[in-house]
Structure 1
Amino acid sequence: MDQNTMSGARSMKGTLPCLVAILAVSLGGTAIAQTEGVYRAGAERIAASDDIRRLSQEIAAAACLADAGVDTATHMATLTNAIGEYDALFAALSEGDATRGIDQPEEDRKMNVALSRVQTLWDNYKPAIDARINGTADPSGLDYISRQNLNVMHSGKYLVSEVINRYSVPPALLSTDAFTLDIVARQRSLAFQIAKEACGVITGNTVLGKQARLAKASQRFDVSLNALINGFPGAGVVPAPTAAIRDGLTAVQGDWNRVQTMIDQIGGPGDVQVASDIHDRMSSIATAFDALVPLYVEESKAGIN
């Protein structure tokens, strides 16, 4: 990658406008997070919605590497598992799932409309994944995933915004806690987006991956990670609230610094093994955030009597 491009992108992170733009999410609207004393699992719903956003990028990254012939069986298994996970997440958000901490079905009309919009995109995306798993895809199969993965990701972003609008009401869920939790969970989708964009650039799939999007996703991940560690009140992000969370974020930062060096060296099509290495490292980082998300969920409930 062009050094000036990456250096310029990183230099932006010291400015308030850039941080706010990178971290921002709509927190407007009104909501009722509790109904007749029943906690409505706002934090858990944010985490589940962010998982839907993550899956859009995890699927695309796995499809890219499978198409390149890299550890095909493993990445095909990822696609299979992703379908089951998405369906379970959607069912939890719609009907409730006590194992995910969502005890109540969704009863709000606006939220159910938002869920329906996300489901419509998924219903069109899923057959392309199924076709690849079953070996029945025509040559445009990956192209459909390449073209649509960002739309599915943005539908997840929209869903998260609606959940925050609906459920971030004190004392059940403070807006700062909701926003911070979203940033934490979003790091997983950014991790897989970085892996996907890198794979697309390296394999020459210019629809799936672009240098500019890779730089932007990397910058967003970096700025968000620093904000999570140190806090950024002007953008609504609280600093790491516990020693365990800070230690986890600091460990991620060390791993991320090593991946950044690899990303800096991407200048176009090249050795697909580099794409595989970046994917594996970013997948490990996403797993680390999987462990941090429940800690933030619990911290968000500190004000509930």
Structure 2
Amino acid sequence: MRLAFMGSPDFAVPALRALHGAGHAIAAVYCQPPKPAHRGQRETRCAVHVAAEALGLPVRTPARLRRDEAEHAAFAALDLDAAVVAAYGLILPKPMLDAPRRGCLNIHASLLPRWRGAAPIQAAILAGDDRTGVTIMRMDEGLDTGPMLLAEAVPIGPETTASTLHDTLAALGARLILRALAENPPAVPQPDEGVTYAPKLTREDGRIDWSRDAAAIDRQVRALNPWPGTHTRHGEEVLKVLDAAPLPERTEAPPGTVLEAGRVACGGGTVLRLTRLQRAGRAPQEIDAFLRGYPLAPGDRLG
């Protein structure tokens, strides 16, 4: 089948490799343009760009699409059976949505219509969902509103992080898109009930509010690992909270109060144990090693 692939981050790479490995003719790979990154702000290609070049595939990196009629015409000239889209980062205008014979198929990391939008993996963990999954959807002009072709669920456990869930769903998406192309299942409209949205995350989403209960803060730590990460302030120092665990014990100490052995009082009398921390400019440390070298003492306040 003659395809275009449109994606940018690590999440999209397994699907690109699976399509190429299955023998589909990938006429072009679209991804975000190189951007300044790392120390020195060097121009850096996204993960899909790197993977496509390693596979010998032609890469296009338009900065915008909405009003670029030349880009619309170039896309139509590819004479595609379908386009596969996975976390591309640009909105496809109607002329491009309509160009492939079987449309543009999106690999979305949730069980639609739950968690439409930019950060569905993190949103599912933050909300305490016990499962999520991947939906293959035929795209329309709405935000993740198109009809569904396939979906498959995976569990979210008490130790699931966004990082581990990302990798599970990326592999699942690669498998499901191959099925969707091979089987051409009928498209089913999304239900009107149960629609939720997962907005784009910011660094401020990572600030810990100790007035929330320990279970909610634990979900925040797991959901925002690795980005934007969770953090708290101890005096003038900002501490990254990399891992934590809610405890069954109760306390009457005010939220944010440091207890013994790296435990912290949270909202509702609950307690969270910090298990791995990082200071600015330092390496991550397990809590016992951290406390040997940093004065985080019982009675101190975090905020």
Shorter-chain TM-score range:
under 0.3
Q: Under a length normalisation based on structure 1, what TM-score does the superposition of the two structures give?
A: 0.26
Q: Which has the larger radius of gyration?
A: 2
The structure with more strand, counted as a fraction of residues = 2
**Greater relative contact order (Cα 8 A, min sep 6): structure 1 or 2?**
1
The structure with more helix, counted as a fraction of residues = 1
Q: Under a length normalisation based on structure 2, what TM-score does the superposition of the two structures give?
A: 0.26
